[in-house]
């Protein structure tokens, strides 16, 4: 899964139309580099981020999804949103998957996913992006994240979402300190009993900067590759990454070693 951020800090120059054009071109490039899914997001969820207005989120993501659907109908698109309204519009515009970092907190989200037949990523987060890194606390991070995701899968299936449309994600960096992130990354296998695909998003995150001594997020390639390779070696089905070409090459080798065959 390649990351396509449509937030002002990532696509800053020009007006909105120019931004959308840049974003469409970048999405096409991620697919050409080997991404099977392109994840379009219009809300910054960095630690400390303020929420964006729903109209603004729609204005950012819908033209990009429409643009990619028209120019590159071969690309599977996901929409990174916590809002059922945005999810609904994005699926109508061409997205096939809803990637919800709140695990389906919006009361209408599961219904929208069921009614549209979209796939759904349920992610764990402690707190919300504004406050989540203040003092994250768990007695047993793996058990608590697992229990949260188990309950959310159950809720989704109860709401009528087909279980083969579901993916779970421990939410690396979302209300987790360094040790929490490492404990989760070491135990990815544990999440396979939830009968859903498992997604891991570690790319360029702060803990990688901390461990590798790289302050600049865009320069955290080597650490991000290490996290992607080990996540897949431990059974992750999907990795969400910025550096698609490099990750695809690293995972080709990983797959051959771990699963056998090229
Ligand atoms: C994730 C995400 C993640 C899923 C972001 C960033 C922050 N969606 N959206 N999993 N992270 N499913 O990329 O640094 O880890 S936004």
Residue range 56-115, pLDDT digits in tens: 999 999 999 999 999 999 999 999 999 999 999 999 999 999 999 999 999 999 999 999
Helix axes 84-93, 109-116, angle to 10 degrees: 20
Cβ–ligand 1 contact at 4 (below 6 Å): no
| Cα–Cα distance for residue pair 244/118, rounded to 1 Å | 24
Closest listed residue to residue 243, CA positions, set 12, 34, 96: 34
Model confidence, pTM = 0.95
119, 165 in Cβ contact below 8 A?
yes
Q: What is the pLDDT of residue 11?
A: 42
Beta carbons within 10 angstroms of residue 171's beta carbon:
26
CA–centroid distance, residue 124 to ligand 1 (Å)? 10
Q: What is the pLDDT of residue 9?
A: 61
**Angular region, 61: left φ>0, alpha ψ -120 to 50, beta rest:** alpha
For residue 74, what are its two tokens? 């071969």
Identify the active-site residue in 152, 165, 205, 206: 205
- Provide the edge-to-edge strand list for the sheet that holds 2-5: 2-5, 37-41, 76-80, 97-100, 119-123, 166-169, 197-200, 238-239
Cβ–ligand 1 contact at 181 (below 6 Å): no
201 CA: nearest ligand 1 atom:
15
* DSSP H/E element including 56: helix 54-71
| Cα–Cα distance for residue pair 222/214, rounded to 1 Å | 10
Q: What is the pLDDT of residue 44?
A: 84
Which residues does the chain have with pLDDT short of 50? 11-17
Closest listed residue to residue 1, CA positions, set 133, 84, 138, 96: 96
| Cα–Cα distance for residue pair 116/156, rounded to 1 Å | 14
């Amino acid at each position: 899964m390649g990351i396509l951020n449509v937030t002002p800090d990532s696509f800053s120059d020009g007006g909105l139309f120019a931004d959308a054009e840049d974003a469409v071109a970048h999405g096409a490039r991620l697919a050409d580099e080997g991404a099977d899914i392109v994840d379009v997001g219009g809300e910054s969820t960095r630690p400390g981020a303020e929420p964006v207005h729903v109209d603004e989120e729609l204005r950012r993501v819908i033209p990009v999804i429409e643009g990619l659907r028209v120019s590159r109908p071969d690309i599977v698109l996901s929409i990174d949103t916590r809002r059922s309204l945005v999810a609904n519009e994005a699926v109508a515009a061409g997205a096939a998957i809803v990637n919800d970092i709140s695990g389906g907190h919006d009361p209408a989200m599961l219904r929208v996913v069921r009614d549209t037949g979209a796939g759904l990523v349920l992610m764990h987060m402690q707190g919300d992006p504004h406050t989540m890194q203040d003092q994250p606390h768990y007695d047993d991070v793996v058990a608590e994240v697992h229990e949260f995701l188990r309950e959310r899968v159950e809720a989704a299936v109860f709401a009528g979402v087909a279980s083969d449309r579901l993916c779970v994600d421990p939410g690396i960096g979302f209300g987790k300190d360094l040790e929490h992130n490492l404990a989760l990354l070491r135990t990815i296998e544990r999440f396979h009993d939830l009968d859903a695909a498992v997604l891991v998003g570690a790319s360029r995150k702060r803990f990688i900067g901390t461990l590798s001594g790289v302050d600049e997020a865009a320069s955290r390639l080597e650490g991000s590759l290490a996290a992607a390779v080990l996540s897949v070696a431990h059974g992750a089905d999907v990795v969400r990454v910025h550096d698609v070409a490099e990750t695809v090459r690293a995972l080709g080798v990983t797959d051959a070693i771990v699963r056998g065959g090229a």
